[in-house]
């Protein structure tokens, strides 16, 4: 490992033995790698230890904080920067080189990162691009807090974004995203996410109007459209036609169809939650 790369990597996991080794093998240049495990029942923990990572167990009690914020608040980091990486995300040599050049003298407290997405073993060159704020200075902020004690089943911040005090930049080199757990895991994960999104929409609708003001402009647009069956088809045509996802062949078509289904699923679950409220 190279101590000159002053970034601590945090990998939140649960039952990720299919992905974790690929992820860890690409992190040799980082002086600290922390795997935050949620009581995995497979070989995830041992694989992480075999690759020299620190392993911390996290058992969620259903209240704030969830996994990423808990690590930020409780782990004593060895470096001034933290990079959150999922087990199915893999850094490249070019990405690491950019960190070496950028971080020592940067004015930014965080960076947006772009992801090269693989689906059905094919790199998707077109369609909707994916990026997130996954690298930031320790102490510059936390992931947003959402009051979800009564309805969330997710122990990790998935849709929450870091709220930072300071300017945010963007890195040019992407991180690779490729899940080796298969289609069943992909569909199960999106089923969980759609339930979370439907429940959050209902919580926003029942809550104070100020909760809407806390959302980003992109979030407000998404949640306004979420109560419509049009969001799924809109996403399909924007990504598959408008952003040329059709050029990715069969994989691009299936990816766009499943994303459309994901948003339709959210709308159906919103309807079900409304009906349940009316009968209570």
pLDDT confidence of residue 4: 66
Using the structure block, give the residue that is written with the tokens 């996290």: 58
Q: What is the DSSP letter of 242?
A: I
Share of the chain above pLDDT 70, in %: 99
pLDDT in tens, 176-185: 999 999 999 9
How sure is the predictor about 49, in pLDDT bands with cuts at 50, 70 and 90?
very high
3-state class percentages of the chain: helix first, strand second, coil last, to nearest 5 = 40, 20, 40
Best CA proximity match to 258, nearest among 278, 279, 240, 276: 240
Domains of the chain, residue spans: 7-177, 183-278
Assign residue 238 a region: left if phi > 0, alpha if psi is -120 to 50, beta otherwise?
alpha
Dist CA 156 CA 188 (whole Å): 16
Of the listed ranges 11-20, 51-60, 152-161, 209-218, the least confidently predicted one is 209-218
Query: Per-residue pLDDT for 134 more than 70?
Result: yes
pLDDT exceeds cutoff 50 at 2: no
The yes-or-no verdict on residue 273 having pLDDT over 70 is yes
CA–CA separation, 90 vs 128, rounded Å?
Answer: 20
Other Cβ atoms less than 10 A from the Cβ of 171: the count is 19
Determine the pLDDT at residue 35: 98
- pLDDT value of position 213: 77
Phi, psi values for residue 195, rounded to 5°: -65, -40
Q: Domain spanning 7-177 has what CATH number?
A: 3.90.550.10
Give the Cα separation of 139 and 72 in Å (integer): 8
Q: pTM of the predicted model, to two decimals?
A: 0.93
Cβ contacts of residue 147 below 8 Å, gap of 6+? 203, 207
CA 108, distance to chain mean position in Å, is 21
Return the sign of the alpha-carbon dihedral for residues 174, 175, 180, 185. Answer: negative
Q: Residue 275, Cβ neighbours under 10 Å: how many?
A: 9
Residue 1: what pLDDT?
42
pLDDT of the residue at 85: 98
Q: Could you tell me which residue, 205 or 33, shows the higher pLDDT?
A: 33
At residue 10, φ and ψ (nearest 5 deg) are -115, 125
Q: What percentage of the chain exceeds 90 in pLDDT?
A: 82
**Residues 181, 219: contact at Cβ < 8 Å?**
no
Query: Considering Cα of 252, then 255, then 258, then 259, what sign does the dihedral take?
Result: negative
């Amino acid at each position: 490992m190279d101590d000159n790369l002053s970034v601590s990597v945090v990998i939140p996991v649960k039952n990720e033995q299919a992905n974790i080794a690929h992820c860890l093998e690409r992190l040799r240049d980082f002086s600290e790698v922390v795997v935050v495990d949620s009581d995995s029942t497979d070989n995830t923990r041992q694989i992480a230890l075999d690759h020299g990572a620190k392993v911390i167990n996290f058992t969620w009690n259903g209240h704030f904080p969830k996994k990423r914020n808990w690590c930020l608040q409780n782990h004593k980091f060895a470096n001034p920067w933290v990079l959150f990486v999922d087990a199915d995300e893999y850094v490249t040599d070019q990405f690491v080189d950019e960190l070496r050049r950028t971080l020592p003298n940067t004015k930014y407290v965080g960076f947006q990162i772009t992801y090269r997405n693989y689906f059905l073993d094919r790199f998707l060159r077109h369609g909707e691009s994916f990026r997130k704020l996954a690298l930031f200075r320790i102490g510059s902020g936390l992931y947003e807090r959402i009051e979800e004690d009564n309805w969330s089943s997710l122990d990790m911040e998935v849709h929450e974004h870091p709220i930072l005090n300071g300017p945010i930049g963007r890195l040019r080199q992407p991180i690779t995203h490729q899940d080796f757990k298969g289609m069943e895991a992909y569909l199960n994960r999106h089923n969980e996410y759609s339930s979370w999104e439907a429940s959050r929409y209902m919580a926003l609708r029942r809550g104070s109007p100020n909760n809407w003001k806390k959302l980003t402009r992109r979030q407000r647009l998404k949640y306004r459209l979420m109560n419509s069956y049009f969001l799924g088809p809109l996403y399909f045509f924007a990504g598959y036609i408008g952003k040329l996802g059709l050029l990715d062949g069969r994989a691009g078509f299936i990816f766009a169809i499943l994303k459309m289904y994901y948003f339709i699923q959210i709308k159906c679950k919103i309807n079900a939650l409304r009906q349940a409220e009316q009968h209570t």
